[in-house]
Amino acid sequence: MSLPVQHLWLIPALPLAAAAVGALTPRSGRTLAAGAAIATMAGAFLLACLALGGALDFPAAHQVLNFAWFDLGATSLRLGLLLDPLTAFMCVMVTFVSLLIFIFSTGYMKADANAKQFFCFLSLFAAAMLGLIIANSLLLLFVCWELVGLASYLLIGFWFHKPAAAAAAKKAFITTRIGDLGFLLGLLWLQDAQGTLLFYDGGHGILESAALANLTHLLPCGLAASTAIGLLIFCGAIGKSGQFPLHVWLPDAMEGPTPVSALIHAATMVAAGVFLIARVYPLMAADQLLANVPVHALTVVAFIGAITALMGALIAVAQNDIKRILAFSTVSQLGYMMLAIGVGSWVAAIFHLLTHAFFKALLFLGAGSVIHAAHHEQDIRRLGGLRPKMKVTFATFAIGMMALSGVPFLFSGFWSKEAILHAAHGWEVSSLPFYAAVLGVVLTAFYMTRLVAEVFYGAPRSDEASHAHENSPAMTVPLVILAACSILFSLLAWPSPWLQHQLDPSAHSESGDMSLVLPSIVLVALGLGAGWAYYGRRPRTKAESPDPLDRYAPGLMAALANRLGFDELYAATVGRLSSGFATLAAFLEVFVWDGAVRFLAGLGELSGLVSRENDEAGFNAGFDAGSKTLRDTGVAYSKAQTGDAHGYLRTLALGFVLLLILVILGGAR
């Protein structure tokens, strides 16, 4: 039994329905909202498993279902659904991890008055991510991409009564939207160049060879068209997946409730960028065969990934907030994934994305368990000694830590990281990313050892830590399940690269090559040993005691603790520039444009005034003078009007006599 592509829409539709239920129930309906969210996500998980079964029957096929959204005349904007192993594996992972996070949330959000809204937003978040995964159209992917951004805004700012949370939500939304701008432009360009945005459409899709051949021409700037489009789309991934230089929102996103952090870091949000680039890999790689171009799209991806991987790991070393350490480790791991895609192995990237989703969800939920038990204390310097009190949390957290550090053989992270190192080692363009990745491996093992040692070993260093106790099964059972997955997943990769083969049957696989295994075991051991030497052997006794590393390089540690000053840099440049422009525009508005209007109005009034004066003094004066003469004449004549009838008669008679005389004299002549 398998799920055909025609019914694939059910997978995001189920959580969407749960979101609607959550939105429409009253505030008291939290049980209903939570129940709907969990039940629909379980249903979606089952459907995703069925879809995976269907996809694995024909791993090389892209099953699609395309339909028009709206017509533009000559072309139309079409959407579509796509079922292939990449989609199916992602669906299974997202639904499974989300399901466990939802269950965990019922425990974590027990005391929150807005819990029903929380489950509504969580379902919306998962629905948008699932829609993004099953999209067979860059447009549908973009639509869901934006909805993922919206849901993350709502969830990061869920505790909007904390100013930091409200600011973090806004920062996440705006920062990722800067990247989305590039994505949008790439989308417009593709629509214009190809007339379609479908990935696969029986030979006409944008990822199929006929269309890709259209984009090999060179632009005036020397880049191939596909390089430019690919890099624009990559901007979106830089924003969403927290890559350098737009990584700044991701650590701040910790202000949301911890299950949200788990969801963002494991399953839904940051995975979207890596998934996007893996999905459009044929487009990104379309310029590989061109020799006379200044840069290939994938080369940029590889270097951005390498920078991010190293930078994230370095900053994580100097953080003290348990969630921030994990956040920067996510930044670093996402860098690894991008690096893998950049060096040509999107399969390794997706493999790492899947394994990382499980152990990062595990680590975040474990951190949530610690935070919940320690009354929202997140500073690792003020925790400590939790191992005997929280056995389940400790055991599962340790498994997650070993998976993330890449402890050999038993843990899934080792295999996926191994695949990435292997791919980076074989890259012909440059060996720098490989060395960055190697250094990152040591640092990862180091900071994770530090984290575990500070939180779970030594003595409790605050009241909160000393009163901590293990949480309810709603929270610990998901931890156990995720821990089991973090181990079991390694079976998929070892001894044969089954997963890689399913994802990309065409690729000739070299993952059986074990040449890098020994060196990487040494690297991990180095990191673990150093971490234990500094933090585990002599645990911190007081919360205030300085970090051992501060003694060696106080300046560097301070810079790292300050996250290399990116936030300050952006605040001083981009922030100030945009607010400067805004103030300038507002100034222009009031004083120039409105000023011009007022000036014209003033000019009108002035000319009115002048005209009036002119009227008064000129025309009117003449008129008045004329009138006066007339009136005077009238007055003068009116003196004749005496009203005396006899006088009139006398005058009449006199006149008559005079006339008579004149007539007589005239007649005589």
The correct pick among 17, 150, 295, 525 for binding other proteins (CB under 8 A) is 150
The correct pick among 26, 28, 60, 161 for binding other proteins (CB under 8 A) is 161
Query: From the CB of 189, what's the least distance to other proteins, in Å?
Result: 7
Query: From the CB of 594, what's the least distance to other proteins, in Å?
Result: 5
Contacts of other proteins in 41-80 (CB under 8 A): 69-74, 77
Q: Which of the ranges 87-95, 144-152, 442-450, 608-616 carries the binding residues for other proteins, by CB under 8 A?
A: 144-152
Query: From the CB of 142, what's the least distance to other proteins, in Å?
Result: 8
* Spatial contact of 425 and 434, defined as CB atoms under 8 Å apart: yes
489 vs 614: CA distance, rounded Å: 95
The correct pick among 213, 577, 586, 660 for binding other proteins (CB under 8 A) is 586
Query: From the CB of 297, what's the least distance to other proteins, in Å?
Result: 19
Nearer to other proteins, 132 or 362 (CB): 132
Q: What would the two tokens of residue 318 be?
A: 């100097």
Binding mask 185-204 for other proteins (x = CB under 8 A): x--xx-xx------------
Residues 6+ apart with CB under 8 A from 564: 311, 315
Q: What would the two tokens of residue 651 be?
A: 């005058």
3-state secondary structure of 226: helix
Q: Is 29 in the site for other proteins (CB under 8 A)?
A: no
Q: Is 593 in the site for other proteins (CB under 8 A)?
A: yes
Q: Is 659 in the site for other proteins (CB under 8 A)?
A: no
Query: From the CB of 249, what's the least distance to other proteins, in Å?
Result: 13
Query: From the CB of 292, what's the least distance to other proteins, in Å?
Result: 24
Nearer to other proteins, 171 or 563 (CB): 171
489 vs 658: CA distance, rounded Å: 142
Residues 6+ apart with CB under 8 A from 132: 141, 144, 145, 148, 272, 275
91 vs 129: CA distance, rounded Å: 9
* Spatial contact of 316 and 329, defined as CB atoms under 8 Å apart: yes
Q: Is 24 in the site for other proteins (CB under 8 A)?
A: no
Q: What would the two tokens of residue 658 be?
A: 């005079």
3-state secondary structure of 68: strand
93 vs 76: CA distance, rounded Å: 33
Q: Is 610 in the site for other proteins (CB under 8 A)?
A: no
Q: Is 178 in the site for other proteins (CB under 8 A)?
A: yes
Angle, CA of 440, 449 and 100, to the nearest 5°: 90
Q: Is 597 in the site for other proteins (CB under 8 A)?
A: yes
Angle, CA of 334, 337 and 340, to the nearest 5°: 150
Question: What's the first-to-final CA gap in the chain, in angstroms?
Answer: 144
Q: Is 583 in the site for other proteins (CB under 8 A)?
A: yes
**Count of residues engaged in binding other proteins, rule: CB under 8 A:** 43
Query: From the CB of 31, what's the least distance to other proteins, in Å?
Result: 22
Classify residue 77 by its DSSP letter.
Answer: E
List, in sequence order, every beta strand (DSSP E) within 205-298: none
Contacts of other proteins in 493-552 (CB under 8 A): none
Give the binding site for other proteins (CB under 8 A).
69-74, 77, 142-144, 146-147, 150, 153, 160-161, 166, 170, 173-174, 177-178, 181, 184-185, 188-189, 191-192, 578-579, 581-586, 588-589, 593-594, 597, 601
